[in-house]
Amino acid sequence: MLLEVKGLSVKYGKIEALKDVSLSVKEGELTTLLGANGAGKTTLLKTISGLLKPFAGEIVYLGRRLDTLPTDAVVRAGISHCPEGRKVFPRQTVYENLKIGAYTRRDGEVEKDIEDFFAKFPRLGERRNQRAGHLSGGEQQMLVICRALMSRPKLLLLDEPSMGLAPFVVREVFALIQEIHRQGVTILLVEQNAKMALKVADKGYILEVGRVVAEDSARNLLASETVRKSYLGG
């Protein structure tokens, strides 16, 4: 296992947002985490990346305890978290956003990686010197995913990358996720769009008010009657 979450409990003051959550992510796989609003999906990702500290339980990554590390050490260990809500740095240019994504890197290939992204997404390339705050929602989403990849992570945490985007942009985002997966990056994908997520995923977890209520292969979850009823719209 690349990542193992064991008996995790996270509190905001007195509110327990995660209760005894266990989950594991296998190297090379795309694991998806589904659940309604307020289920605790974002809380779980934030705890993995060290933005939140757990109240109980542990997170083990490559055999090392992760839950005691500060966020910058988590990134250096090879985990990149692309947060929900397209958090570009609006005052910095598209180029500067990508560059800061490589903050932890010491190798000489940062510029090359940036050019590769610009070649792949010409709309970003054309706007390389524009402020990221001026991009459209879809362009911002592509930018933050590329920015998260700039640290060359082993494990990518994606929080609702399709939220609030037009259907054709959602397809583009999912195509990118699949491509990243094919290139060997392990992915933990949080989504509300359960159908699309399960179609590209290897494995899925379902979270309900802070608890894991189902865990299975993506194929079985897609076929399951209960999942179909509550998450796939009948």
Partner 1 sequence: MFLQYVINGLSIGSVYALIAIGYNMVYGILELLNFAHGDVYAVGCFVTLALIGLKQHVVVAILGGMMAGFTINLIVERFAYRPVRFSGRVTPTISAVGIAYIMRNIIMKIWGPETYPFNIGIKASYFTVGKVVFGTLQIYILLIAVALMIFISLLLKRTKMGQAVVSISQSIPTAALMGIPVNRVIAMVYGVGAALGVVGGVLFCAYYESIFLGIGFMLGTMKAWMSSIVGGIGSLKGAVMGALILGLTESFVSGYVSTVYRDAYVWGVFILFVLIKPQGLFPAQISEKV
Ligand X SMILES: Nc1ncnc2c1ncn2[C@@H]1O[C@H](COP(=O)(O)OP(=O)(O)OP(=O)(O)O)[C@@H](O)[C@H]1O
Task: Name the residues that contact Mg ion, by CB under 5 A.
Answer: 42, 84
Spatial distance between the Cα atoms of 48 and 188, rounded to a whole number of angstroms: 11
| Residue 39 binds: one of Mg ion, ligand X, partner 1, none (C-beta under 5 to 8 A by kind) | ligand X
- When CB distances are held under 5 to 8 angstroms depending on the partner's kind, the choice from Mg ion, partner 1, ligand X, none that residue 193 binds is none
Q: Which residues are CB-contacts of 223 (< 8 A; sequence separation ≥ 6)?
A: none
The residue among 28 and 70 lying less far from partner 1, judged by its C-beta, is 70
The single-letter DSSP state of residue 71 is H
Three-state SS for 87-124 is CCCCCCEHHHHHHHHCCCCCCCCHHHHHHHHHHHCHHH
- Binding-site partner at residue 71 among Mg ion, partner 1, ligand X, none, CB < 5 to 8 Å by type: partner 1
Q: Residue 181 touches which of partner 1, ligand X, Mg ion, none (CB < 5 to 8 A by kind)?
A: none
Q: What CA–CA distance (Å, rounded) separates 51 from 67?
A: 10
Distances (CA, A) of 153 to 169, 203, 232: 24, 20, 31
- Strands 3-12, 15-25: pairing is antiparallel
The contact set with ligand X (CB under 6 A) reads 12, 15, 17, 35, 37-43, 84, 192
Q: Does 80 bind partner 1 (CB under 8 A)?
A: yes
Nearer to partner 1, 82 or 212 (CB): 82
Do 38 and 211 contact (CB within 8 A), yes or no? no
Q: Which of 224, 153, 218 is nearest to 191 (CA)?
A: 218
In the bound state with Mg ion, the residue whose beta carbon lies nearer, of 83 and 125, is 83
**Residue number, 14 or 91, with CB nearest to ligand X:** 14
Q: Per rule CB under 8 A, is residue 104 in the interface with partner 1? A: yes
143 binds, among Mg ion, partner 1, ligand X, none (CB under 5 to 8 A by kind): none
Stretch that binds partner 1, among 43-51, 161-169, 199-207, 214-222 (CB under 8 A): 43-51
Residue 89 binds which one of ligand X, Mg ion, partner 1, none, with CB within 5 to 8 A depending on kind?
partner 1
Among 72, 109, 111, 116, which residue sits at the site for partner 1 (rule: CB under 8 A)?
72
Tokens of 51: 């933005």
Q: How far is the C-alpha of 181 from the C-alpha of 203, rounded, in Å?
A: 13
Burial class (CB in 10 A: 0-12, 13-18, 19+), 63: exposed
Q: How far is the CB of 82 from ligand X (least distance, A)?
A: 14
Q: In the complex, which residues of this chain contact partner 1 (CB under 8 A)?
A: 49-51, 70-72, 75-76, 80-83, 87, 89-92, 96, 99-101, 103-104, 133, 147-148, 151
